[in-house]
């Protein structure tokens, strides 16, 4: 290589070195995507896209307005995806692209949701003309004639009710993503009761991938210890014991407000304060921390510092967002909110 070319290459790569602000920011965003299990950042789709109301209702059941999970056992698994019908050219079928489901996710349940419209009541009709028989089929071979299909579910519905009809299609989704349109009897005109573009495939999956904690390089240990020691003091010079402090994570400041539906942010809290001897019960100290504080106080070893003030109880949050295919996803994240602190 010529020196000029080599120098130009090094100059362009220099801002991305790990110690630069740009490099640190890029690494921080990468780690944040890992925590939230997002491979590619979605496009900003709000406010021109609205989530299905049943997904909004589900979010409100499992979490409060801040995203704090209030009913962890309500969901099957920890990920719920709402996939919209994508077959824009063939109105004879529902087509759902399930490629957004990760390889490490376990499929627990799949539901086909179709919105049924209300019909005006006509009293003089015979008994059977007040009902609609709906059959749901799995298409086994789309190209064959006659088509080979498998009956998944059959249901008799009143023409005069309105709302979502839910069909269990778990086994079908595990083998295929093509589902024929709902077939109706009672002289076919009753098929108009089914809103054609209000069909969703709702997937309940489980993703138990755990994130390992990342630590700062050891070269920063002394600096961090100095910061930690000075932060124990209040503005009045009083030592502040280990305790919970406010920390709000704002998705708008991160740059994610364009695709996260709810919440707009959440209270993560953080732990800060001194863990000095003697460690009282309120500091929730471990036996190891108690021994460490004694060794530090008696100066039995110059390398032993005071115990650290860290979260000892964590709770989960739920977030609803648009993924990079504009599907609505409701996901539960473990260990995201510090609920109490202790000396460890």
Residue-wise pLDDT for 245-290, tens only, equals 999 999 999 999 999 999 999 999 999 999 888 887 777 888 898 8
- pTM for the full model? 0.76
Query: Which residue among 206, 230, 261 closes a domain?
Result: 206
Instruction: Give the model's pLDDT for residue 3.
Output: 31
Tell me whether residue 154 is in a domain.
yes
Domain identity same for 201 and 274: no
Mean pLDDT of successive 10-residue stretches along the chain, which has 344 residues: 31 50 87 87 80 93 92 85 76 75 86 80 62 78 68 82 86 68 44 61 82 39 38 64 94 92 95 88 84 88 90 94 92 95 92
Closest by CA to 333, choosing from 162, 194, 196, 211, is 211
Number of domains in the chain: 2
324 lies in which domain range?
220-343
84-87: list long-range contacts, CB under 8 Å, 24+ apart. Answer: 84/199, 84/200, 84/326, 84/327, 85/197, 85/199, 85/200, 85/201
The CATH code of the domain that includes 265 is 2.10.90.10
| Residue 262 shares a structural domain with residue 187 | no
Phi/psi at 19 (nearest 5 deg)? -85, -10
Q: Does 239 reside within a domain?
A: yes
């Amino acid at each position: 290589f010529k020196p000029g070319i080599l120098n130009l290459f090094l100059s362009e790569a220099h801002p991305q070195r790990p110690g630069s602000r740009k490099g640190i920011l890029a690494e921080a965003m990468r780690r944040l995507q890992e925590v939230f299990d997002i491979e590619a950042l979605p496009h900003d789709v709000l406010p021109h896209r609205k989530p299905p109301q049943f997904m909004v209702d589900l979010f409100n059941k499992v979490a409060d307005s801040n995203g704090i999970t209030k009913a962890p056992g309500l969901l099957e698994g920890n990920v719920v995806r709402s996939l919209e019908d994508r077959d824009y050219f063939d109105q004879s079928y529902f087509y759902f692209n399930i490629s957004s489901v990760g390889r490490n996710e376990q499929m627990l349940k799949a539901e086909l949701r179709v919105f049924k419209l209300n019909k005006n009541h006509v009293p003089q009709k015979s008994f059977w003309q007040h009902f609609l028989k709906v059959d749901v089929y799995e298409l086994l071979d789309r190209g064959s004639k006659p088509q080979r299909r498998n009956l998944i579910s059959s249901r008799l519905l009143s023409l005069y009710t309105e709302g979502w009809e839910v069909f269990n299609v778990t086994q079908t989704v595990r083998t295929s993503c093509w589902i024929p349109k709902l077939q109706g009897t009672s002289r076919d005109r009753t098929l108009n009761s089914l809103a054609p573009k209000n069909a969703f495939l709702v997937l309940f999956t489980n993703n138990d991938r755990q994130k390992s904690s990342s630590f700062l390089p050891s070269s920063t240990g002394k600096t961090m210890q100095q910061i930690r020691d000075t932060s124990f003091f209040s503005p009045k010079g009083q030592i502040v014991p280990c305790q919970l402090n406010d920390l709000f994570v704002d998705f708008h400041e991160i740059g994610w407000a364009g695709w996260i539906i709810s919440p707009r942010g959440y209270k993560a809290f953080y732990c800060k304060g001194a863990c000095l001897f003697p460690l009282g019960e309120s500091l929730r100290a471990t036996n190891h921390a108690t021994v460490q504080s004694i060794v530090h106080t008696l100066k039995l070893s110059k390398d032993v510092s005071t115990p650290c003030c860290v979260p000892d109880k964590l709770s989960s949050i739920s977030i609803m967002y648009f993924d990079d295919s504009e599907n609505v996803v409701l996901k539960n994240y473990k260990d995201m909110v510090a609920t109490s602190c202790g000396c460890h």
